[in-house]
Structure 1
Amino acid sequence: MEQMHINWFPGHMAKAHRTIREHLKLVDVVVELLDARIPYSSANPMINDVLEGKPRIVALNKADLAEPSWTKAWMDHFKAQGVKAIPLEATGGKGAKTLVSLLEQAGSETIAKLVAKGIRPRAVRAMILGIPNVGKSSLINCLLGTHTVRTADRPGVTRGKQWIKIGRNLELLDTPGVLWPKFEDPEVALKLAMTGAIKDEVYDLEQAIVQFLALLRPRYEERLIERYRLDLPLPEENVHLLERIGAKRGCLRSGGVVDCEKAMRLILNEFRGGKLGAFTLDYPTE
C-alpha cells in the first residue's frame, strides 16, 4: 500500500513560529514537551533552530501511555546528550513538581546575573514548546491546580499566548503547538496522526489505520489478539485484520457486513485512550 504523505502547515502555525522567535528573548529556559510514546516523532526540529543557546528541559508527557522500560531508555538517551529530561503524567500531575524545580534551577543563573547588575530579582520565565495535542494546556492546568487554561483532546485549541504565574518563582509563557511544514518520513507522519497531533480530517483514515496495524504487529501482535479476542492464524493482509477486528467487536452493518469506518474509529480511540495498553513507537538510537 502507498505510504501516507501529509503536508500540513496552516497559517496560524507559520504565525506561531514567528511568535516563538519574537518571545524567546523574554524567557530564561525552554520546556520541550514531547509525547512519551513517540519522543522522536513528536520532536520539532525547527524548534532547535530557534533556541539560540537557551537552557532546555525535555518533558516526556503521557508517560502513563508509554512503556516504562522504553521511557527509561529515552531518559538515559537524553542524559547521554547532556539534556535534562523527566517523564510526566500531566493529567494526573505526576512529575509536575519536579519540572517546576528543574525550571527554577535552570533559570537561577540568569536571575543571579540580574541581581549582580543591581536589577531587582524576578521570577524565572519559561516557555513551553511542543506539537499540537501533546498536553501543554493539561500540564499548565496541573501546575495551577485549576482548569483555567482551555484544553481538549484535539489539535488547534491553544491559539494565542499567555503568561501564567506558577507560585512565586516561575512564570510560564504558553504558546500554540507547532508542527513542521513537511514530513520527510511517512512513518513519522503516521505516528503523529495516530496520536492526535494532526487533525483527523487531513489524512486518509483507512490508509492510516491499515499502516498503523502493520506498525504494531511486529511488537504488539499479542496485545491485539488479546484485546480483540482474535482467532489464529491472523490474516496476512492488514486490511483483512481490520475487518476481523470489526467483526469481533460487532462493527457490522445490515447483512453482517463489517463497518470498516466504525472499526477504524474503535481502534483509533482505544489506542489513544490507553485501552490497548501502553505503547512506545519510537526507540532511542545512539
Structure 2
Amino acid sequence: MLLRVVHQNEYVYAPPVKTAQHMAHLKPAHDAHQRLASHRLRIAPEPEQLREGVDVFGNTRAYFSVQSVHERLEVVADSLVSTTTTPPIDNDISWEDARERMRYQRGSHYDPAAGFAFASTYVPRHERLLEYALSSFTAGRPLVDAARELMHRIHEDFEYVAAATDVGTPALKAFELRQGVCQDFAHVMLGCLRSLGLAARYVSGYLLTEPPPGMPRLVGADASHAWLALYLPRADGAGEWMGLDPTNDRSPGEDYVRLATGRDYADVSPMRGVIQGGANHTLKVAVTVAPVPKFGA
C-alpha cells in the first residue's frame, strides 16, 4: 500500500522567540518491510542550519536552528511510504526461555535486543506491572500467545481518554488511572513485558483511519499513533520483532507507518527543542494519512 503522510506542527509564541534549536523525528523508517519513496521537511521561518543524523536506535532525526526572531514556527513533514503486510509469526518459544536469553550469562552470546528489557524514562520495571502481566504469562506458555492475551486485556481494562494524561505521564500513573491514549497503552504494556524480563521497544508512527461510509476524508483529522514491538529470540541466530497495538487490540499491518523506535516516548518524540523567549506558546498538530489516489478526497 502506498500512503502519503503529512504531519504539520504549528507553534505560536508570545513573546516572540529570539533563537531556537530543535530536533525532529518526522522521517519514516526505510527497511525491508517499509520503503520510503520520498520525504520532504518544510520549515518556516527558514532555518539557518538543517542537517540529518541517525540515533543509536537507527532512527533518522533532523536538527535545525532558527536564529531570526519569530512568533510562529511551522514544521511540515510530507512523506510517501510503501507498506507491506506483516509476515506470519513462526516462533513457539516459551516466555521463560525468552526471558532467560535476555539475561547476562558469562561466555554466552550477547543479544543487542537485551537493552530493551531494562527500565527507561517513562517505563519502570515494577511489582504491580509484573503482577498484572503474570495472569497471562502462565508457566510454559508460548511467548506469542501470552503477549497477545496481555494486549487484549489491556485493551479491555483501560479506557481511551485523551484528557486523562499528557506526554509526560509515566506508565505507572496511567496504570493506576486505567485511562490514557495510545502512548499510555504502549507504555503500560512495555512495563508489563519488561517487568517479566522480556525485551520490548516503543514504536511511534501513524495509522490509516477511514472515515465513516458516505463521509469525506478530512485533511488533518488523523493523528500520530504509538504501539510496541516485542522481541522473539531464536536459538539459531537473531530473533524477530512482533508488533502489538494494545490501543486497537491488533497486530500492525500495511495500514501502519513506522516512524521511529526507542525505549519509550522520550527517545522518539516528534519535536523537541530549546528556545530563547516564547514563555507562552500554543501547539496545533494536524496529520493526514491516506492512500495516494484518495489523498485530499
When normalised by structure 2's length, the TM-score is 0.22
The structure whose residues are more often helix, as a share, is: 1
**Higher RCO, 1 vs 2 (CA within 8 Å, ≥6 residues apart):** 2
